[in-house]
Structure 1
Amino acid sequence: MLATVHHPASAPDGSVPLLIVHGLFGSARNWGAIARRLADRRDVVAVDMRNHGESPRAGVQDYPSMAGDLAEVIESLGGKVDLLGHSMGGKAAMQLALTQGALIRRLIVADIAPVVYTHDQSPHIHAMRGLDLTGLTSRGEADRRLQALVGDPALRAFFLQSLDLKAAGGPVWRLNLDVLERDMPKIIGWPGTEGHFDGPTLFLTGAESHYVRPEHRETIRALFPHARFAKLPGAGHWLHAEKPREFEETVRVFLNA
Protein backbone atom coordinates (compact mmCIF):
# COMPACT_ATOMS: atom_id res chain seq x y z
CA MET A 1 0.00 0.00 0.00
CA LEU A 2 1.07 3.60 -0.49
CA ALA A 3 3.02 5.31 2.27
CA THR A 4 0.86 7.82 4.13
CA VAL A 5 1.22 10.66 6.61
CA HIS A 6 -1.69 10.93 9.05
CA HIS A 7 -2.79 14.18 10.66
CA PRO A 8 -5.41 13.31 13.32
CA ALA A 9 -8.27 15.77 13.88
CA SER A 10 -7.68 18.09 16.82
CA ALA A 11 -11.42 18.37 17.54
CA PRO A 12 -13.17 15.67 15.44
CA ASP A 13 -16.73 16.40 14.35
CA GLY A 14 -17.48 13.10 12.57
CA SER A 15 -16.53 14.27 9.07
CA VAL A 16 -15.06 11.73 6.68
CA PRO A 17 -11.27 11.93 6.31
CA LEU A 18 -9.66 14.18 3.71
CA LEU A 19 -7.17 12.37 1.46
CA ILE A 20 -4.56 14.58 -0.24
CA VAL A 21 -2.79 13.41 -3.40
CA HIS A 22 0.35 15.25 -4.59
CA GLY A 23 1.51 15.88 -8.14
CA LEU A 24 4.48 14.69 -10.19
CA PHE A 25 7.82 14.77 -8.30
CA GLY A 26 5.97 15.65 -5.08
CA SER A 27 5.34 13.85 -1.80
CA ALA A 28 3.06 13.84 1.23
CA ARG A 29 5.60 16.04 3.00
CA ASN A 30 4.95 18.90 0.56
CA TRP A 31 1.44 19.20 2.00
CA GLY A 32 2.34 19.13 5.69
CA ALA A 33 1.37 22.66 6.70
CA ILE A 34 -1.92 22.69 4.79
CA ALA A 35 -2.79 19.18 5.98
CA ARG A 36 -2.20 20.12 9.62
CA ARG A 37 -4.40 23.21 9.38
CA LEU A 38 -7.21 21.32 7.64
CA ALA A 39 -7.09 18.67 10.38
CA ASP A 40 -8.94 20.84 12.88
CA ARG A 41 -12.23 18.94 12.54
CA ARG A 42 -11.36 15.86 10.46
CA ASP A 43 -8.49 13.46 9.98
CA VAL A 44 -6.30 14.40 7.03
CA VAL A 45 -4.16 11.82 5.27
CA ALA A 46 -1.54 12.64 2.64
CA VAL A 47 -0.05 9.92 0.43
CA ASP A 48 3.20 9.34 -1.37
CA MET A 49 2.16 8.18 -4.83
CA ARG A 50 3.77 5.09 -6.36
CA ASN A 51 7.38 5.69 -7.42
CA HIS A 52 7.51 8.74 -5.15
CA GLY A 53 8.69 9.27 -1.59
CA GLU A 54 8.46 6.25 0.69
CA SER A 55 5.89 4.38 -1.42
CA PRO A 56 6.68 1.17 -3.33
CA ARG A 57 8.48 1.28 -6.65
CA ALA A 58 6.29 -0.04 -9.44
CA GLY A 59 6.85 -0.86 -13.09
CA VAL A 60 4.13 1.40 -14.45
CA GLN A 61 2.88 4.95 -13.79
CA ASP A 62 -0.57 5.20 -15.35
CA TYR A 63 -3.86 6.55 -14.04
CA PRO A 64 -5.76 3.25 -13.66
CA SER A 65 -2.91 1.96 -11.49
CA MET A 66 -2.66 5.16 -9.47
CA ALA A 67 -6.43 5.19 -8.92
CA GLY A 68 -6.23 1.59 -7.73
CA ASP A 69 -3.58 2.60 -5.19
CA LEU A 70 -5.83 5.36 -3.87
CA ALA A 71 -8.81 2.99 -3.62
CA GLU A 72 -6.72 0.69 -1.43
CA VAL A 73 -5.86 3.56 0.91
CA ILE A 74 -9.49 4.70 1.08
CA GLU A 75 -10.69 1.21 1.97
CA SER A 76 -8.15 1.19 4.82
CA LEU A 77 -9.63 4.50 6.06
CA GLY A 78 -13.19 3.19 6.20
CA GLY A 79 -14.29 3.30 2.57
CA LYS A 80 -15.34 6.95 2.14
CA VAL A 81 -13.29 10.16 1.94
CA ASP A 82 -13.20 13.66 0.61
CA LEU A 83 -10.48 13.62 -2.04
CA LEU A 84 -8.11 16.43 -3.06
CA GLY A 85 -5.61 15.94 -5.87
CA HIS A 86 -3.16 18.35 -7.47
CA SER A 87 -1.87 18.02 -11.05
CA MET A 88 -0.94 14.34 -11.60
CA GLY A 89 -2.70 13.61 -8.31
CA GLY A 90 -5.76 15.44 -9.60
CA LYS A 91 -5.89 13.21 -12.66
CA ALA A 92 -5.55 10.11 -10.47
CA ALA A 93 -8.37 11.45 -8.28
CA MET A 94 -10.58 12.05 -11.33
CA GLN A 95 -9.85 8.55 -12.63
CA LEU A 96 -10.93 7.09 -9.29
CA ALA A 97 -14.06 9.26 -9.13
CA LEU A 98 -15.13 8.12 -12.60
CA THR A 99 -14.54 4.42 -11.90
CA GLN A 100 -15.24 3.99 -8.16
CA GLY A 101 -17.20 7.09 -7.28
CA ALA A 102 -18.84 5.51 -4.23
CA LEU A 103 -15.53 5.92 -2.39
CA ILE A 104 -15.67 9.71 -2.64
CA ARG A 105 -18.03 12.19 -0.96
CA ARG A 106 -16.58 15.42 -2.37
CA LEU A 107 -13.82 15.89 -4.94
CA ILE A 108 -11.36 18.77 -5.32
CA VAL A 109 -9.19 18.88 -8.45
CA ALA A 110 -6.36 21.41 -8.18
CA ASP A 111 -5.18 22.97 -11.43
CA ILE A 112 -5.57 20.13 -13.90
CA ALA A 113 -8.18 18.97 -16.41
CA PRO A 114 -9.08 15.51 -17.78
CA VAL A 115 -7.27 16.17 -21.04
CA VAL A 116 -4.00 15.33 -22.79
CA TYR A 117 -1.23 17.89 -22.29
CA THR A 118 1.97 18.45 -24.26
CA HIS A 119 4.21 19.90 -21.52
CA ASP A 120 6.75 17.07 -21.24
CA GLN A 121 8.40 17.09 -17.81
CA SER A 122 11.32 14.87 -18.88
CA PRO A 123 13.84 17.76 -18.88
CA HIS A 124 13.37 17.99 -15.10
CA ILE A 125 14.23 14.31 -14.81
CA HIS A 126 17.36 14.91 -16.86
CA ALA A 127 18.28 17.77 -14.52
CA MET A 128 17.84 15.60 -11.42
CA ARG A 129 19.89 12.85 -13.00
CA GLY A 130 22.54 15.41 -13.88
CA LEU A 131 23.02 16.53 -10.27
CA ASP A 132 26.42 15.37 -9.02
CA LEU A 133 25.61 13.55 -5.76
CA THR A 134 29.26 12.82 -4.92
CA GLY A 135 30.10 13.92 -1.40
CA LEU A 136 26.84 15.83 -0.93
CA THR A 137 26.07 16.44 2.75
CA SER A 138 23.85 19.54 2.74
CA ARG A 139 20.79 20.75 0.91
CA GLY A 140 22.48 24.12 0.42
CA GLU A 141 25.31 22.51 -1.51
CA ALA A 142 22.81 20.43 -3.50
CA ASP A 143 20.97 23.63 -4.42
CA ARG A 144 24.22 25.28 -5.52
CA ARG A 145 25.07 22.34 -7.77
CA LEU A 146 21.56 22.06 -9.18
CA GLN A 147 21.50 25.77 -10.05
CA ALA A 148 23.51 25.08 -13.19
CA LEU A 149 20.69 22.81 -14.40
CA VAL A 150 17.55 24.45 -12.94
CA GLY A 151 17.45 28.23 -12.86
CA ASP A 152 14.23 28.67 -10.87
CA PRO A 153 15.04 28.62 -7.12
CA ALA A 154 11.48 27.62 -6.17
CA LEU A 155 11.62 24.67 -8.56
CA ARG A 156 15.02 23.63 -7.19
CA ALA A 157 13.67 23.74 -3.64
CA PHE A 158 10.70 21.61 -4.67
CA PHE A 159 12.85 18.98 -6.37
CA LEU A 160 15.33 18.85 -3.49
CA GLN A 161 12.58 17.88 -1.06
CA SER A 162 12.80 14.48 -2.78
CA LEU A 163 16.56 14.14 -2.27
CA ASP A 164 17.48 11.82 0.61
CA LEU A 165 20.82 13.06 1.90
CA LYS A 166 20.98 10.47 4.70
CA ALA A 167 20.45 7.31 2.67
CA ALA A 168 22.79 4.41 3.33
CA GLY A 169 25.47 4.49 0.68
CA GLY A 170 25.05 8.18 -0.09
CA PRO A 171 22.38 10.62 -1.34
CA VAL A 172 19.60 9.25 -3.57
CA TRP A 173 16.44 10.62 -5.13
CA ARG A 174 13.19 9.39 -3.54
CA LEU A 175 11.80 9.08 -7.07
CA ASN A 176 11.81 6.23 -9.57
CA LEU A 177 13.14 8.45 -12.32
CA ASP A 178 13.43 5.63 -14.87
CA VAL A 179 9.74 4.70 -14.74
CA LEU A 180 8.58 8.31 -14.51
CA GLU A 181 10.56 9.17 -17.63
CA ARG A 182 9.41 6.10 -19.58
CA ASP A 183 5.75 6.68 -18.69
CA MET A 184 5.79 10.46 -19.10
CA PRO A 185 3.35 10.24 -22.06
CA LYS A 186 0.86 8.50 -19.75
CA ILE A 187 1.40 11.06 -16.98
CA ILE A 188 0.81 14.11 -19.18
CA GLY A 189 -1.89 12.21 -21.07
CA TRP A 190 -5.37 11.07 -20.10
CA PRO A 191 -6.76 7.55 -20.62
CA GLY A 192 -10.06 8.77 -22.08
CA THR A 193 -12.06 7.38 -19.16
CA GLU A 194 -15.81 7.63 -19.70
CA GLY A 195 -18.70 7.76 -17.23
CA HIS A 196 -19.47 10.49 -14.73
CA PHE A 197 -19.09 11.37 -11.07
CA ASP A 198 -22.27 12.79 -9.58
CA GLY A 199 -20.78 14.09 -6.34
CA PRO A 200 -19.92 17.73 -5.63
CA THR A 201 -16.70 18.63 -7.43
CA LEU A 202 -14.54 21.74 -7.29
CA PHE A 203 -12.02 22.57 -10.01
CA LEU A 204 -9.73 25.00 -8.20
CA THR A 205 -7.15 26.72 -10.39
CA GLY A 206 -4.53 29.42 -10.24
CA ALA A 207 -5.65 32.55 -12.06
CA GLU A 208 -2.23 32.80 -13.72
CA SER A 209 -2.11 29.12 -14.71
CA HIS A 210 -2.98 27.84 -18.19
CA TYR A 211 -3.65 24.22 -17.25
CA VAL A 212 -7.45 24.51 -17.11
CA ARG A 213 -8.69 26.50 -20.09
CA PRO A 214 -12.21 27.65 -20.99
CA GLU A 215 -12.32 25.09 -23.81
CA HIS A 216 -11.85 22.30 -21.23
CA ARG A 217 -15.07 23.10 -19.41
CA GLU A 218 -17.35 21.18 -21.76
CA THR A 219 -15.26 18.03 -21.24
CA ILE A 220 -15.19 18.59 -17.49
CA ARG A 221 -18.94 19.10 -17.20
CA ALA A 222 -19.65 15.95 -19.24
CA LEU A 223 -17.68 13.86 -16.73
CA PHE A 224 -18.43 15.89 -13.59
CA PRO A 225 -21.95 17.33 -14.05
CA HIS A 226 -21.94 19.06 -10.65
CA ALA A 227 -18.55 20.73 -11.17
CA ARG A 228 -17.90 24.19 -9.81
CA PHE A 229 -14.97 26.37 -10.83
CA ALA A 230 -12.90 28.75 -8.71
CA LYS A 231 -9.66 30.67 -9.26
CA LEU A 232 -7.06 31.92 -6.80
CA PRO A 233 -5.84 35.40 -7.84
CA GLY A 234 -2.09 35.75 -8.12
CA ALA A 235 -1.45 32.00 -8.19
CA GLY A 236 -0.09 29.76 -10.92
CA HIS A 237 0.03 25.98 -11.22
CA TRP A 238 1.54 25.57 -7.73
CA LEU A 239 -1.41 27.40 -6.20
CA HIS A 240 -1.26 25.57 -2.86
CA ALA A 241 2.36 26.65 -2.35
CA GLU A 242 1.95 30.18 -3.73
CA LYS A 243 -1.29 31.04 -1.90
CA PRO A 244 -1.53 28.46 0.91
CA ARG A 245 -3.96 30.29 3.18
CA GLU A 246 -6.31 31.22 0.36
CA PHE A 247 -6.11 27.65 -0.97
CA GLU A 248 -6.82 26.21 2.47
CA GLU A 249 -9.80 28.48 3.07
CA THR A 250 -11.35 27.72 -0.34
CA VAL A 251 -10.98 23.98 0.30
CA ARG A 252 -12.49 24.34 3.77
CA VAL A 253 -15.52 26.27 2.54
CA PHE A 254 -16.20 23.74 -0.21
CA LEU A 255 -15.86 20.71 2.07
CA ASN A 256 -18.16 22.25 4.68
CA ALA A 257 -20.80 23.49 2.25
Structure 2
Amino acid sequence: MVAKTPIRHSTTGDGPPVVLMHGLFGSGGNLGALARSLASDYSVLSVDLPNHGRSGWLEEASLARLAEAIVDWMDGEGIPRAALVGHSLGGKVAMEIALSEPGRCAAAVIADIAPVSYPPHHDAVFAALDAVHKARVRSREQAAQLMAQHLEDEGVIQFLLMSLQRGDGGVYDWRFNLEGIKRDYAAVRAEPDVDQPFSGPILFVKGGESDYILPQHRERVLALFPDAQVKVMPGCGHWLHAEQPALFNSIVGRFLQQHYSGAQQVL
Protein backbone atom coordinates (compact mmCIF):
# COMPACT_ATOMS: atom_id res chain seq x y z
CA MET A 1 0.00 0.00 0.00
CA VAL A 2 1.27 3.47 -0.88
CA ALA A 3 0.54 6.32 1.54
CA LYS A 4 -1.82 8.92 0.12
CA THR A 5 0.33 11.72 1.52
CA PRO A 6 4.03 10.99 1.06
CA ILE A 7 5.67 10.85 4.49
CA ARG A 8 9.43 11.09 4.71
CA HIS A 9 10.95 9.17 7.59
CA SER A 10 14.21 7.69 8.80
CA THR A 11 14.57 4.43 10.71
CA THR A 12 17.15 3.34 13.23
CA GLY A 13 17.40 0.32 15.52
CA ASP A 14 15.49 -2.93 15.59
CA GLY A 15 12.57 -4.11 17.70
CA PRO A 16 9.02 -2.95 18.45
CA PRO A 17 8.17 0.18 16.44
CA VAL A 18 8.29 3.62 18.06
CA VAL A 19 7.14 6.60 15.96
CA LEU A 20 8.64 10.00 16.81
CA MET A 21 6.81 13.19 15.78
CA HIS A 22 8.29 16.68 15.96
CA GLY A 23 6.70 20.05 16.69
CA LEU A 24 5.50 22.95 14.56
CA PHE A 25 8.08 24.22 12.02
CA GLY A 26 10.33 21.23 12.77
CA SER A 27 11.36 17.99 11.10
CA GLY A 28 12.11 14.39 11.99
CA GLY A 29 15.70 15.09 12.99
CA ASN A 30 14.61 17.26 15.93
CA LEU A 31 14.21 14.17 18.12
CA GLY A 32 17.43 12.58 16.86
CA ALA A 33 19.01 12.23 20.31
CA LEU A 34 15.96 10.34 21.53
CA ALA A 35 15.97 8.13 18.43
CA ARG A 36 19.59 7.17 19.07
CA SER A 37 18.95 6.45 22.73
CA LEU A 38 16.05 4.10 21.92
CA ALA A 39 17.65 2.35 18.96
CA SER A 40 19.14 -0.47 21.04
CA ASP A 41 15.68 -1.71 22.02
CA TYR A 42 13.27 -0.44 19.36
CA SER A 43 12.82 0.22 15.68
CA VAL A 44 12.58 4.01 15.84
CA LEU A 45 10.86 5.79 12.97
CA SER A 46 11.35 9.58 12.90
CA VAL A 47 8.80 11.19 10.59
CA ASP A 48 8.49 14.56 8.95
CA LEU A 49 4.88 15.54 9.61
CA PRO A 50 2.83 16.60 6.57
CA ASN A 51 3.63 20.18 5.50
CA HIS A 52 7.05 19.81 7.15
CA GLY A 53 10.49 18.62 6.13
CA ARG A 54 10.42 16.52 2.99
CA SER A 55 6.93 15.10 3.49
CA GLY A 56 3.99 15.92 1.25
CA TRP A 57 1.78 18.94 1.67
CA LEU A 58 -1.90 18.86 2.58
CA GLU A 59 -4.73 21.00 1.28
CA GLU A 60 -6.11 21.05 4.82
CA ALA A 61 -4.09 20.15 7.91
CA SER A 62 -6.39 19.80 10.89
CA LEU A 63 -5.26 17.53 13.71
CA ALA A 64 -7.61 14.86 12.38
CA ARG A 65 -6.13 15.11 8.89
CA LEU A 66 -2.56 15.01 10.20
CA ALA A 67 -3.39 11.94 12.28
CA GLU A 68 -5.05 10.30 9.29
CA ALA A 69 -1.94 10.90 7.19
CA ILE A 70 0.31 9.27 9.80
CA VAL A 71 -2.01 6.26 10.24
CA ASP A 72 -2.15 5.88 6.45
CA TRP A 73 1.66 5.98 6.36
CA MET A 74 1.78 3.31 9.10
CA ASP A 75 -0.42 1.13 6.92
CA GLY A 76 1.96 1.62 4.02
CA GLU A 77 4.91 0.63 6.21
CA GLY A 78 3.13 -2.44 7.58
CA ILE A 79 2.94 -1.07 11.14
CA PRO A 80 -0.39 -2.11 12.69
CA ARG A 81 0.51 -0.77 16.15
CA ALA A 82 3.27 1.36 17.62
CA ALA A 83 4.30 3.47 20.55
CA LEU A 84 3.95 7.15 19.73
CA VAL A 85 6.19 9.93 21.03
CA GLY A 86 5.39 13.51 20.07
CA HIS A 87 6.63 16.96 21.04
CA SER A 88 4.27 19.96 20.87
CA LEU A 89 2.33 19.64 17.58
CA GLY A 90 3.64 16.08 17.27
CA GLY A 91 2.19 15.40 20.71
CA LYS A 92 -1.19 16.67 19.58
CA VAL A 93 -1.06 14.40 16.54
CA ALA A 94 -0.11 11.47 18.79
CA MET A 95 -3.08 12.22 21.07
CA GLU A 96 -5.41 12.47 18.07
CA ILE A 97 -4.27 9.04 16.85
CA ALA A 98 -4.64 7.50 20.32
CA LEU A 99 -8.16 8.89 20.67
CA SER A 100 -9.44 8.24 17.16
CA GLU A 101 -7.54 5.00 16.40
CA PRO A 102 -6.75 3.51 19.83
CA GLY A 103 -5.83 0.15 18.37
CA ARG A 104 -2.89 1.75 16.57
CA CYS A 105 -1.35 3.22 19.74
CA ALA A 106 0.27 0.79 22.18
CA ALA A 107 1.57 3.60 24.42
CA ALA A 108 2.22 7.31 24.08
CA VAL A 109 4.60 9.93 25.41
CA ILE A 110 3.44 13.53 25.00
CA ALA A 111 6.14 16.17 25.42
CA ASP A 112 4.97 19.54 26.76
CA ILE A 113 1.54 19.91 25.21
CA ALA A 114 -2.00 19.32 26.49
CA PRO A 115 -5.24 18.28 24.74
CA VAL A 116 -6.61 21.82 24.87
CA SER A 117 -7.06 24.76 22.53
CA TYR A 118 -4.24 27.30 22.68
CA PRO A 119 -4.36 31.03 21.88
CA PRO A 120 -2.24 32.28 18.97
CA HIS A 121 1.32 33.06 20.03
CA HIS A 122 3.49 32.71 16.93
CA ASP A 123 2.95 36.16 15.40
CA ALA A 124 6.64 37.08 15.65
CA VAL A 125 7.69 33.74 14.17
CA PHE A 126 5.37 34.14 11.20
CA ALA A 127 6.63 37.71 10.69
CA ALA A 128 10.22 36.44 10.63
CA LEU A 129 9.39 33.60 8.24
CA ASP A 130 7.49 35.94 5.91
CA ALA A 131 10.36 38.43 5.90
CA VAL A 132 12.81 35.77 4.72
CA HIS A 133 10.40 34.42 2.11
CA LYS A 134 9.67 37.84 0.61
CA ALA A 135 13.30 39.02 0.60
CA ARG A 136 14.51 36.12 -1.59
CA VAL A 137 17.69 35.89 0.45
CA ARG A 138 20.88 34.39 -0.94
CA SER A 139 22.58 33.34 2.29
CA ARG A 140 21.68 31.89 5.66
CA GLU A 141 23.39 34.87 7.30
CA GLN A 142 21.05 37.27 5.50
CA ALA A 143 18.07 35.19 6.61
CA ALA A 144 19.26 35.22 10.22
CA GLN A 145 19.68 39.00 10.17
CA LEU A 146 16.13 39.47 8.87
CA MET A 147 14.70 37.10 11.45
CA ALA A 148 16.53 38.89 14.26
CA GLN A 149 14.40 41.95 13.51
CA HIS A 150 11.38 39.96 14.73
CA LEU A 151 12.78 37.34 17.11
CA GLU A 152 14.99 37.90 20.16
CA ASP A 153 15.72 34.25 20.95
CA GLU A 154 18.78 33.11 18.99
CA GLY A 155 17.87 29.51 19.74
CA VAL A 156 14.53 29.89 17.97
CA ILE A 157 16.23 31.53 14.98
CA GLN A 158 18.72 28.67 14.68
CA PHE A 159 15.94 26.09 15.03
CA LEU A 160 13.97 27.69 12.20
CA LEU A 161 17.05 28.01 10.00
CA MET A 162 17.30 24.21 10.03
CA SER A 163 14.35 24.27 7.61
CA LEU A 164 15.88 26.82 5.21
CA GLN A 165 16.95 25.36 1.86
CA ARG A 166 18.72 26.71 -1.20
CA GLY A 167 16.60 26.59 -4.33
CA ASP A 168 16.93 27.45 -8.00
CA GLY A 169 19.07 30.47 -8.74
CA GLY A 170 20.67 30.43 -5.31
CA VAL A 171 17.57 31.81 -3.54
CA TYR A 172 16.83 30.38 -0.10
CA ASP A 173 13.31 29.61 1.11
CA TRP A 174 11.51 27.46 3.64
CA ARG A 175 11.31 23.72 3.14
CA PHE A 176 8.03 23.52 5.08
CA ASN A 177 4.70 24.67 3.66
CA LEU A 178 4.64 28.17 5.14
CA GLU A 179 1.36 29.23 3.53
CA GLY A 180 -0.32 25.98 4.52
CA ILE A 181 0.86 26.26 8.12
CA LYS A 182 -0.41 29.84 8.30
CA ARG A 183 -3.72 28.80 6.75
CA ASP A 184 -4.28 25.94 9.20
CA TYR A 185 -2.73 27.54 12.27
CA ALA A 186 -6.06 27.76 14.11
CA ALA A 187 -6.81 24.10 13.34
CA VAL A 188 -3.56 22.79 14.84
CA ARG A 189 -3.98 24.98 17.93
CA ALA A 190 -7.37 23.35 18.60
CA GLU A 191 -8.07 20.57 21.05
CA PRO A 192 -8.63 17.02 19.76
CA ASP A 193 -12.11 16.63 18.32
CA VAL A 194 -12.69 13.24 19.94
CA ASP A 195 -14.60 12.54 23.17
CA GLN A 196 -14.00 8.78 23.50
CA PRO A 197 -11.17 8.43 26.03
CA PHE A 198 -7.97 6.49 25.42
CA SER A 199 -7.48 3.99 28.22
CA GLY A 200 -3.95 2.90 27.32
CA PRO A 201 -0.70 3.98 28.96
CA ILE A 202 0.28 7.58 28.29
CA LEU A 203 2.87 9.87 29.82
CA PHE A 204 2.86 13.67 29.71
CA VAL A 205 6.32 15.21 30.16
CA LYS A 206 6.18 18.86 31.19
CA GLY A 207 8.96 21.42 31.09
CA GLY A 208 9.05 22.90 34.57
CA GLU A 209 9.45 26.44 33.23
CA SER A 210 6.96 26.01 30.38
CA ASP A 211 3.35 27.23 30.41
CA TYR A 212 2.08 24.74 27.82
CA ILE A 213 0.76 22.32 30.47
CA LEU A 214 -0.98 24.08 33.34
CA PRO A 215 -2.93 22.95 36.44
CA GLN A 216 -6.21 23.95 34.80
CA HIS A 217 -5.55 21.39 32.05
CA ARG A 218 -5.64 18.48 34.49
CA GLU A 219 -9.39 17.87 34.23
CA ARG A 220 -9.33 17.70 30.44
CA VAL A 221 -6.24 15.48 30.40
CA LEU A 222 -7.83 12.94 32.76
CA ALA A 223 -11.18 13.05 30.96
CA LEU A 224 -9.50 11.95 27.72
CA PHE A 225 -6.61 9.94 29.19
CA PRO A 226 -7.73 8.40 32.51
CA ASP A 227 -4.45 6.44 32.89
CA ALA A 228 -2.26 9.48 32.29
CA GLN A 229 0.99 9.93 34.17
CA VAL A 230 2.88 13.23 34.40
CA LYS A 231 6.59 13.87 34.80
CA VAL A 232 8.01 17.38 35.29
CA MET A 233 11.52 18.25 34.12
CA PRO A 234 12.73 21.09 36.40
CA GLY A 235 14.56 23.97 34.80
CA CYS A 236 13.30 23.22 31.30
CA GLY A 237 11.15 25.26 28.97
CA HIS A 238 9.11 24.05 26.02
CA TRP A 239 12.18 22.62 24.23
CA LEU A 240 12.80 20.13 27.04
CA HIS A 241 14.17 17.41 24.75
CA ALA A 242 16.90 19.80 23.55
CA GLU A 243 17.56 21.52 26.90
CA GLN A 244 18.09 18.34 28.95
CA PRO A 245 18.28 15.50 26.43
CA ALA A 246 19.80 12.91 28.77
CA LEU A 247 17.01 13.33 31.32
CA PHE A 248 14.29 13.44 28.67
CA ASN A 249 15.62 10.33 26.95
CA SER A 250 15.80 8.50 30.28
CA ILE A 251 12.20 9.39 31.16
CA VAL A 252 10.90 8.21 27.78
CA GLY A 253 13.02 5.05 27.85
CA ARG A 254 11.87 4.02 31.33
CA PHE A 255 8.22 4.58 30.45
CA LEU A 256 8.47 2.49 27.30
CA GLN A 257 10.28 -0.29 29.16
CA GLN A 258 7.44 -0.43 31.67
CA HIS A 259 4.52 -0.19 29.23
CA TYR A 260 5.70 -1.34 25.81
CA SER A 261 7.24 -4.77 25.48
CA GLY A 262 8.28 -6.96 22.57
CA ALA A 263 4.74 -8.35 22.47
CA GLN A 264 3.80 -5.30 20.41
CA GLN A 265 6.25 -6.02 17.58
CA VAL A 266 5.02 -5.93 14.01
CA LEU A 267 3.76 -9.39 13.10
* TM-score scaled by length of structure 2: 0.89
- Cα deviation per residue 1:188-233 (whole Å; 9 max; x = unaligned)? 1124321011110001110111111112111111111110000111
Give the number of aligned pairs. 251
Q: Contact 1:81–1:103 at 8 Å: present in 2 too?
A: yes
Q: Which moved more, 1:33-42 or 1:85-94?
A: 33-42
Name the counterpart of 1:48.
48
Q: Relative contact order (C-alpha < 8 Å, sep 6+): which is higher?
A: 2
Partner SS state of residue 83, structure 1? strand
Identity %: 35
Tell me the amino acid that sits aligned with residue 51 of structure 1. Answer: N
Q: Contact 2:96–2:194 at 8 Å: present in 1 too?
A: yes
CA displacement at 1:133 relative to structure 2: 4.8
Tell me the amino acid that sits aligned with residue 88 of structure 1. Answer: L
* Residues 191 and 223 of structure 1, relative CA distance in 2, 3 Å threshold: closer
Q: Contact 1:19–1:83 at 8 Å: present in 2 too?
A: yes
Name the counterpart of 1:253.
254
Name the counterpart of 2:138.
136
CA displacement at 1:117 relative to structure 2: 0.9
- Cα deviation per residue 1:161-190 (whole Å; 9 max; x = unaligned)? 11012x234212012111211221111112
Partner SS state of residue 49, structure 2? coil
Q: Contact 2:95–2:192 at 8 Å: present in 1 too?
A: no
CA displacement at 1:2 relative to structure 2: 4.1
Partner SS state of residue 93, structure 1? helix
Tell me the amino acid that sits aligned with residue 50 of structure 2. Answer: R
Q: Contact 2:38–2:44 at 8 Å: present in 1 too?
A: yes
Partner SS state of residue 172, structure 1? strand
Mapped to 2, the partners of 1:188 and 1:50 lie a distance apart of 16
Map 1:42-191 → 2, pairs under 5 A? 42-75=42-75, 76-131=77-132, 133-137=135-139, 139-165=140-166, 167-169=167-169, 170-191=171-192
CA displacement at 1:149 relative to structure 2: 2.2
Tell me the amino acid that sits aligned with residue 6 of structure 1. Answer: S
CA displacement at 1:110 relative to structure 2: 0.7
Name the counterpart of 2:242.
241
Mapped to 2, the partners of 1:184 and 1:217 lie a distance apart of 24
Name the counterpart of 2:195.
194
Q: Contact 1:120–1:184 at 8 Å: present in 2 too?
A: no
Q: Contact 2:128–2:146 at 8 Å: present in 1 too?
A: no
Name the counterpart of 2:262.
none
Q: Contact 1:200–1:227 at 8 Å: present in 2 too?
A: yes
Name the counterpart of 1:37.
37
Tell me the amino acid that sits aligned with residue 177 of structure 1. Answer: L
CA displacement at 1:85 relative to structure 2: 0.9
Q: Determine which of 8, 11, 19 is the counterpart of 1:7.
A: 11
RMSD: 1.6
Tell me the amino acid that sits aligned with residue 213 of structure 2. Answer: V
Name the counterpart of 1:211.
212
CA displacement at 1:6 relative to structure 2: 2.3
Unaligned 5+ runs, structure 2: 259-267
Mapped to 1, the partners of 2:123 and 2:95 lie a distance apart of 23
Mapped to 2, the partners of 1:81 and 1:135 lie a distance apart of 41
Mapped to 2, the partners of 1:68 and 1:202 lie a distance apart of 22
Mapped to 2, the partners of 1:77 and 1:87 lie a distance apart of 26
Tell me the amino acid that sits aligned with residue 30 of structure 1. Answer: N
Partner SS state of residue 105, structure 1? strand
CA displacement at 1:135 relative to structure 2: 5.0
Mapped to 2, the partners of 1:4 and 1:121 lie a distance apart of 26
Tell me the amino acid that sits aligned with residue 152 of structure 1. Answer: D
Unaligned 5+ runs, structure 1: none
Q: Contact 1:105–1:200 at 8 Å: present in 2 too?
A: yes
